[in-house]
């Protein structure tokens, strides 16, 4: 076994226990008591920053929080100017989330560094805890990873949250410098990104395998639609004279579901509805709804989006009301790096773990980072296929398997690819 393969059977169990304990400690920090809810740069996020920073320092890492609020820990390589392997995932959550979506990837990264026990490799390892991936607070996902790559625009900076607070102001109030947001925040010589993440679906369980190697991540588009009718008295306004924004939205939501059900490979979701004024005895004046559309084929997704938006317009028109449509996010499908994927498959073989090649229906930071460097993902089975829910879970043995595979991959990067002039550096 190579020097980097530091995890023997009991070592990998201890590393998995550490990772799971860290996930539990992170989960204790929430903006909404009784749930796990952590939005971008919230008070609970500040507590997670303190926890992760302390953990990283204890592991001998150099720690910083970059301008977009990503927590970064650098574990130096054997040489001061060694290339840098980036690993991690996100620490923001959906409302009432589970404990593992995102956080597991950060915890596994730190567990790997911990298992090195001070040994240095020919590359440095940077663990990143992305500040924003879910798109909840500002209705635009991937702000942490886009910030890392220097992709944030003036439009991103002027996004407003539900309280009207701008993105750039949130950054400033957290104590960070929004003037640095447009810069490239990557550590020089970063050569690849690896993200360990729960699968968030039922595939691995259905094939009885603990781990998956992601081949590609489906594209996704998100919109905010506002149906605007006329608020009026619920008792006195005859049915033919109403301009009910919520009834229009409801009809369209049914159309969205039906269209997706009848289009192979398409998933489309209206996950949030805000009704104004929102009273039992008032006809809805406006209904603001979200739309999330995904398909493995970008062309099929774009075609579906056209149909769904035209549907909204014609439903509104038929009722004499208006609909305003704003695109909030658009990401094409992304292939994961073939060399790293093969490396993960080989590493799994070397570690004696069963892996399944698979597509990801969920969006991930890796799909953004892949724009600037080779990126790959290792999935960990999600019991019951449940995610974005409080009952999301992982099996300790599966986390242990992921740690073994990642350790074997690090060994390969250390002793094979780099030693023989790798193509990634």
Closer of 134 and 156 to ligand GLV (Cβ): 134
Q: Report the partner that residue 412 touches, choosing among Mn ion, ligand GLV, none (CB closer than 5 to 8 A by kind).
A: none
CB of 363 to Mn ion, least distance (A): 8
Least distance (Å) from Mn ion to the CB of residue 109?
14
Nearer to ligand GLV, 247 or 362 (CB): 362
Q: How many residues sit in the footprint of Mn ion (CB under 5 A)?
A: 2
39 binds ligand GLV (CB under 6 A): no
User: C-beta of 36: minimal distance to Mn ion in Å?
Assistant: 12
**168/260 with CB nearer ligand GLV:** 260
Q: Which is nearer to ligand GLV, 134 or 244 (CB)?
A: 134
Q: Which is nearer to Mn ion, 236 or 391 (CB)?
A: 391
Q: By CB under 6 A, what part of segment 130-169 binds ligand GLV?
A: 134
Q: Smallest distance, Å, CB 398 to ligand GLV?
A: 19
Give the residue with the Cβ less far from ligand GLV, 311 or 361: 361
**Which residues ranging from 86 to 105 are in contact with Mn ion (CB under 5 A)?**
101-102
Selected from 363, 394, 403, 405, the binder of ligand GLV by CB under 6 A is 363
Q: How many residues bind ligand GLV (CB under 6 A)?
A: 3
CB closer to ligand GLV out of 61 and 362 = 362
**Binding of residue 398 to ligand GLV (CB under 6 A):** no
Other CB atoms within 10 A of residue 212 CB: 25
Smallest gap from residue 329 Cβ to ligand GLV (A): 10
Could you say whether residue 362 binds ligand GLV (CB under 6 A)? yes
User: Among residue numbers 76 through 135, which ones bind ligand GLV (CB under 6 A)?
Assistant: 134
Which of 199/353 has CB closer to ligand GLV?
199
- The answer to whether the CB of 181 falls within 8 A of the CB of 403 is no
Residue 365 interacting with ligand GLV (CB under 6 A): no
Is residue 219 within the footprint of ligand GLV (CB under 6 A)?
A: no
3-state secondary structure the chain: CCCCCCCCHHHHHHHHHHHHHHHHHHHCCCCCCCCCCCCCCCHHHHHHHHHHHHHHHHCCCEEEECCCCCEEEEECCCCCCCCEEEEEEECCCCCCCCCCCCHHHHHHHHHHHHHHCCCCCCCEEEEEEECCCCCCCCCCCCHHHHHHCCCCCHHHHCCECCCCCEHHHHHHHCCCCHHHCCCCCCCCCEEEEEEEEECCCCHHHHCCCCEEEEEEECEEEEEEEEEECECEECCCCCHHHCECHHHHHHHHHHHHHHHHHCCCCCEEECCCEEEECCCCCEECCEEEEEEEEEECCHHHHHHHHHHHHHHHHHHHHHCCCEEEEEEEEEECCEECCHHHHHHHHHHHHHHCCCEEEEEECCCCHHHHHCCCCCEEEEEECCHHHCCCCCCCCCCHHHHHHHHHHHHHHHHHHHHHHCCCCCCCC
- Tell me which of ligand GLV, Mn ion, none is bound by residue 363, counting a contact when its beta carbon lies within the kind-specific cut-off of 5 to 8 angstroms: ligand GLV
Q: In the complex, what is the shortest distance from the CB of residue 267 to ligand GLV, in angstroms, rounded to a whole number? A: 10
By CB under 6 A, name the binding residues for ligand GLV.
134, 362-363
């Amino acid at each position: 076994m190579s020097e980097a393969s530091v995890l023997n059977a009991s070592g990998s169990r201890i590393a998995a226990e550490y990772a799971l304990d860290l996930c539990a400690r992170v989960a204790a920090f929430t903006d909404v008591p009784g749930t796990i809810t952590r939005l971008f740069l919230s008070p609970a996020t500040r507590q997670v920053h303190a926890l992760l920073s302390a953990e990283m320092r204890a592991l001998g890492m150099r720690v910083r929080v970059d301008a977009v609020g990503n927590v970064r820990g650098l574990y130096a390589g054997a040489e001061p100017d060694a290339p840098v392997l980036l690993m991690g995932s996100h620490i923001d959550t959906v409302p009432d989330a589970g404990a593992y979506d995102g956080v597991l990837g950060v915890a596994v990264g730190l567990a790997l560094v911990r298992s090195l026990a001070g040994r240095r490799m020919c590359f440095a390892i940077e663990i990143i805890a992305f500040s924003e991936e879910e798109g909840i607070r500002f209705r635009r996902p991937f702000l942490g990873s886009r910030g890392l790559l220097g992709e944030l625009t003036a439009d991103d900076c002027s996004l407003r949250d539900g309280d009207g607070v701008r993105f750039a102001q949130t950054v400033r109030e957290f104590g960070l410098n929004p003037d640095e947001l447009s810069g490239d925040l990557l550590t020089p010589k970063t050569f690849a990104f690896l993200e360990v993440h729960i699968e968030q679906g039922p595939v691995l369980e259905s094939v009885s395998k603990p781990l998956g190697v992601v081949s590609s991540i489906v594209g996704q588009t998100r919109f905010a639609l506002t149906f605007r009718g006329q608020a009026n008295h619920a008792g006195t306004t005859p049915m033919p004279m109403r301009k009910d924004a919520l009834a229009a939205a409801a009809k369209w939501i049914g159309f969205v579901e039906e269209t997706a059900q009848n289009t192979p490979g398409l998933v489309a979701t209206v996950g949030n509805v805000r009704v104004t004024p929102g009273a039992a005895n008032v006809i809805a004046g406006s209904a603001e709804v979200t739309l999330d559309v995904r398909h493995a084929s970008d062309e099929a997704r774009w075609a579906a989006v056209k149909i769904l938006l035209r549907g909204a317009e014609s439903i509104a028109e038929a009722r004499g009301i208006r609909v305003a449509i704003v695109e909030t996010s658009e990401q094409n499908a992304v292939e994961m790096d073939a060399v790293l994927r093969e490396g993960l498959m080989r590493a799994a073989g070397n570690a004696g773990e069963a892996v399944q090649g698979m597509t990801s229906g969920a969006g991930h930071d890796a799909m953004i980072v892949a724009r600037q460097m080779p990126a790959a993902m290792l999935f960990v089975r999600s019991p019951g296929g449940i995610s974005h829910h409080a009952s999301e879970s992982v099996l300790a043995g599966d986390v242990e398997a992921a740690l073994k595979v990642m350790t074997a991959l690090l060994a390969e990067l250390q002793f094979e690819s780099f030693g023989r002039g790798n193509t990634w550096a």
